[in-house]
Chains A and B, each alone.
Chain A
Amino acid sequence: MSPWNGISVFRATGDVVEGEALVSVEGFSPRYDLNRSSGEISRPGHAIAGENIAGKILFFPTAKGGIAAGWAFYDLASKAIAPKAIVFGKTNPVMVQGAVFAGITITEGWSENPTEVFQTGDTVRVDPRRKTVELLKRA
């Protein structure tokens, strides 16, 4: 783990947010992995199936899915079940466009694999301007 208990990210935008981490080793599609009424990861067999993304800070290695994801974040935000931030290893333009449109903080690329630094339930802070994700409190 880094001495300062955090990781750097390569690209980022959105507000500074703090919240509970939800760390996945599997990629994410807001259209196909998610129950868009409840915010629950609903696809059986997904690495974090059964977890709820509402108000969380999500860590996913990759983004999955096509264009339809663009509207999905806004729909979640309008139902007040959007995540606070999404930290991606690799993402695609649709995720970034969708997150910006919905006012969700989003980042791409990381200095260290977050699975080695954070665990689900930790409290973390994402700071897009400093391009950092810091551990505030262990679960």
Chain B
Amino acid sequence: MRLGQREKELLGGARGETVAEALRGQIEVGDFFGAERFVPVGNVHMMGDIEVMGEGGLEFLRRVAESGARCAVNTTTNARCFDFGYAGRLGQDPENVAKERVLISYLREIGVMTTDTCINYQAVYQPHLGEHVAWGDTGTVIYANSVLGARSNFEGGPAALAASLTGVTPAYGFHLDENRRGNVLVQLEATLESLSDWGAVGRIVGEGHQDYTSVPVFTGIDRSPTADELKHLGASLASHGSMGMYHIVGVTPEARTVEDAFGSIEPQATVTVTDEDLENLYATYETGDGDANLVVFSAPQLSLYELKTLSELLQGKQVKEGTSLIVTTNGAYKAAGEALGYLRDIEGAGGLVLEGVCFYILDGVARMREENGWDNLVTNSAKLTNIIKAHRYNPVLRPTEECVRIAVTGRIEEA
């Protein structure tokens, strides 16, 4: 890689050995992918909690904090594995709770803003067209690239922290024009209503073209989608397809036209998604013994608008005895939801609203399934249906209103 003056100084130890070491790692990653240079990043979003980092990661963070190395750009954190206000109620391990508190103290010492949200693009920062960022959590990256026209690769925890310390990231993948053009054409003929429909499309397209370098281009969307719809589409594409970018012709900033989206690239494949495809997809989720004792709204965390929708759907209703309704959002939206009265409706109906977490990364989520006798997990998140299987839950995708109906009646039927 070609190093600029700034990188040479960092390598020479201008900001200490920890920062130099971070840059050496970035050079090695850049060389692997054939990057020729670094680009400065305006913002970093990183994943860092005890569940993913383990003892080794915690010890590493302690050394970084004690070395005096500090964030060079604004850096926020992704959802974590504990909502401290509910750890006891969820039966989470007190030893891990204590470690998480220590871990957070190290992050803050380094200068990381522990926002604990996987929807930073809604709640915290919206980078502009062409802005280079280093974000972690695949859902945040695909939103930044696709909807905002910002530029990021999937940056895992160590890589995002390195970018935060150095203020730069190697220019490969989605930082480069040539990798941002579409290569799969998706003709959308289905009518998309619920957020789960957008996630379902993400699953169909993602599973069919699993590849970080696949960039689908959607045509046929005849209305202006909301941020929450685009978030569910992207989170699902990233989860099911490992994808980091998509275009919607006439909607996203690098796809004013089909030609704009593809550039000189010929589509490698064309996919058509119809109403029947969606119906078939819903039908693939088996309901097992028909139990409906867990309904989850999470992955990504809910926006304020989604909290409002839930409050309207749950107003004056009661979650069926024996059924748990769990909602996750970030601290800012929970506070706003409280002030606006949405929480009163959701919690009044018996729902549990957690902040700063995402359901699938909760510490002890596999054990919770056993202890609560949970089997089916009903959700409107196609991403969650993918990722939660690793913890042996049986996921069932349903539209938002249907999820609420299931929570209230305690009954679930085959799609």
Contacts and interface: CB of A to CB of B under 8 A. Distances in A.
A79 interface: yes
B54 A36 contact: yes
Contacts, number: 118
Rank and list the top 4 A-B pairs by shortest CB-CB distance, nearest first.
Answer: A70-B156, A78-B56, A75-B54, A97-B159
B59 A78 contact: yes
Given A68-B52, A78-B54, A79-B56, A101 B158 contact: yes
Interface stretch (A18-26, A87-95, A110-118, A119-127): A87-95
Contact of A68 (B32, B159, B211, B361): B361
A132 interface: no
Contact of B238 (A13, A62, A66, A71): A66
Contacts of B323: none
A66 B47 CA distance: 11
B294 to A, nearest CB: 20
> By CB atoms of chain A within 10 A, which of B32, B136, B153 has the most?
B32
Nearest to B391: A32
A66 B173 contact: no
Task: Give the interface size class of chain B.
Answer: 35 or more
Interface string B27-41: 011011110000000
Nearest to A128: B32
A55 B57 CA distance: 20
B282 interface: no
Given A93-B173, A100-B25, A70 B32 contact: no
A93 B53 CA distance: 18
B153 A67 contact: no
B329 interface: no
B56 A93 contact: no
B379 interface: no
A67 B156 contact: yes
A68 B160 CA distance: 12
B25 A101 contact: yes
Given A75-B56, A78-B54, A13 B28 contact: yes
A21 to B, nearest CB: 22
Nearest to A95: B156
Interface of B: 25, 28-29, 31-34, 47-48, 52-57, 59-60, 78, 136-138, 153-160, 172-173, 210-212, 238-239, 242, 361, 387, 390
Interface residues of A, number: 35
B25 A93 contact: no
A100 B32 contact: yes
A48 interface: no
A94 B154 contact: yes
B28 A100 contact: yes
Contact of A67 (B31, B33, B138, B210): B138
A74 B54 CA distance: 9
A67 B390 contact: no
Residue from the set A62, A63, A66, A76 with the largest chain B CB neighbour count within 10 Å: A66
Interface string A40-75: 000100000000000000000011101111111011
B32 A11 contact: yes
A32 B154 contact: no
